[in-house]
Amino acid sequence: MTPVRARAIGPVAALALVAALAGCSSGGSAGAAPGGVDAATSVAGSTTSTIVAVDVGGAPTTTAVVPTSITGTTMIDNTPVTAADGPVQIDVMIGADSSPDRVELARVGASVTLNVTNPDTSDTIVVEGIGMQQKVKAGVQATFNFKVRTAGIYEVKSTATGEVLVVIQVA
Domain that holds residue 58: 11-74
pLDDT digits (tens, 9 = 90+) for 121-167: 999 999 999 999 999 999 999 999 999 999 999 999 999 999 999 99
**What mean pLDDT comes out for the span 50-63?**
42
- Residue pair 64/75 in contact (Cβ under 8 Å)? The answer is no
Give Rg (Cα) of the chain. 20
Same domain for 109 and 156, yes or no, is yes
Number of residues that make up the chain: 171
Q: How far apart are CA 112 and CA 146, in angstroms?
A: 5
Q: 42: pLDDT confidence band, cut at 50, 70 and 90?
A: very low
Same domain for 15 and 40, yes or no, is yes
Q: pTM for the full model? A: 0.55
CATH number (domain holding residue 116):
2.60.40.420
In terms of Cα–Cα distance, which of 158, 121, 159 is closest to 139?
A: 121
Please identify, among 50, 74, 98, the residue that sits at the C-terminal boundary of a domain.
74
Same domain for 26 and 67, yes or no, is yes
As for how many domains the chain has, the answer is 2
Q: Given this model, what pLDDT does residue 35 score?
A: 39
pLDDT digits (tens, 9 = 90+) for 80-105: 557 888 999 999 999 999 999 999 99
